[in-house]
Structure 1
């Protein structure tokens, strides 16, 4: 691992740390604590509540953000939840959901392409979605099936670009005690997400590099 880490956190309210009792309890702050090597390491959180995948893609056109990403050693991405929330609020019709999933997949590809073009050597970590609902919700089964399908898209896209993938679905499934509200993790929930990211971080050094893969 590099001695001088520059970690850029991209995403939505999960990246911002909404639901944590303090920012130090968020997964991004905890992840940085787990990977930093010296006092010179830096961490920049660019999370924004309510951000969609299209809005994150737009952020990546900012020249200042691009300059940061060119120097980043680690990048984490949490995105897509707001895309699905908006689709749900839009009457949850099938055609709208399908359009949203297609757009999300396309945006994920553009996001990862943009970052890897800027910096092919950075370690990118993409997190999939989880179902914050409980089993007594009328749409619980449908939502669970839908999110699993979406997470397969995340996995396929991550493989396509050779980036690390974190899927929190099973860790949160029907576990409301991990949530601070209807959607966001509490401190315990963020600890679980941190462990998923750090576990993936350790595993990546046992995997072949992009140049070694056939």
Structure 2
């Protein structure tokens, strides 16, 4: 079944496509359009706005989701952004940010362990975080350092589970024209995200032609 694609999109509002003008402008829709080869290919989007990493982990433990994971040929994951946004909105201290990152790292390990143990054959892609803030924000520099540290954790954790990573930091840094609001990409921003995923996908899959 070489042409069979069953793509599961897991995560938060970035997976859901918040900010896109319509659902087929989301990065997951672009990704599916590029990798599907027949009309029998399937795509299911389980993105949920405001979902944190712990909530994503809980959702993956449900029996119906475990059955879907077993069938998946391709999986994309966006998570962690809401963990940091909640800390920010709660006026977190530096130590509280550190604890948030540690909790995120533990959740990430459990998420990838669950996915890879349930389905070791799926092509799985994990996206890191980007900083949507403006350069004049008081926490801009600290956010950059924190996100760089988090993305390093993502890369190291994903490597342990043989999962591919996508780092969107440079693609979105100081680029407000890619955003629909303070956080989410617009149609152009989602196209940028889709290209990041597809470039990584094609790099491990060989020659390609995107329709």
TM-score, L = length of structure 1: 0.95
For each residue in 1:133-185, what CA deviation from the matched residue of structure 2 results, as whole angstroms up to 9, or x when unmatched? 01111111111111001100001011111111000000000111100000000
2-side partners of 1:109 and 1:61: how far apart? 14
CA distance in structure 2 between the partners assigned to 1:132 and 1:193 by the alignment: 14
Corresponding residue of 1:129:
129
Shift of 1:95: 1.4
Query: Which residue number corresponds to residue 209 of structure 2?
Result: none
What number of residue pairs does the alignment pair up? 206
d(CA) in 2 for partners of 1:77 and 1:59? 13
Residues 105-153 of structure 1, C-alpha deviations (whole Å, 9 max, x = no match): 0000000000001000000000000000011111111111110011000
Task: Look up the match of 1:44.
Answer: 44
Distance of 1:137 and 1:85 partners within structure 2? 15
**Alpha-carbon distance, 1:205 to partner:** 2.8
For residue 116 of structure 1, what is the aligned residue in structure 2? 116
1:194 corresponds to which residue?
A: 194
| Deviation for aligned residue 1:91 | 1.1
Does residue 9 (structure 1) correspond to residue 1 (structure 2)? The answer is no
Q: Please identify runs of 4+ aligned residues in structure 1 that moved more than 2 A.
A: none
Q: SS of the residue aligned with 2:124?
A: strand
CA distance in 1, matches of 2:204, 2:157: 17
Q: Over aligned residues, Cα RMSD in angstroms?
A: 1.0
Map 1:34-113 → 2, pairs under 5 A: 34-113=34-113
Residues in 2 aligned to 1:142 and 1:79: alpha-carbon distance in whole angstroms = 20
Matched position secondary structure for 1:96 = helix
Gaps of at least 5 residues in structure 2 are 207-211
Q: Hey, what's the Cα distance between the residues in 1 that align with 2:136 and 2:143? A: 12
TM-score normalised by L of structure 2: 0.96
CA deviations over 1:18-49 (Å, ceiling 9, x no partner): 00000000000000001001000000000000
**Aligned-pair distance for 1:2?**
3.3
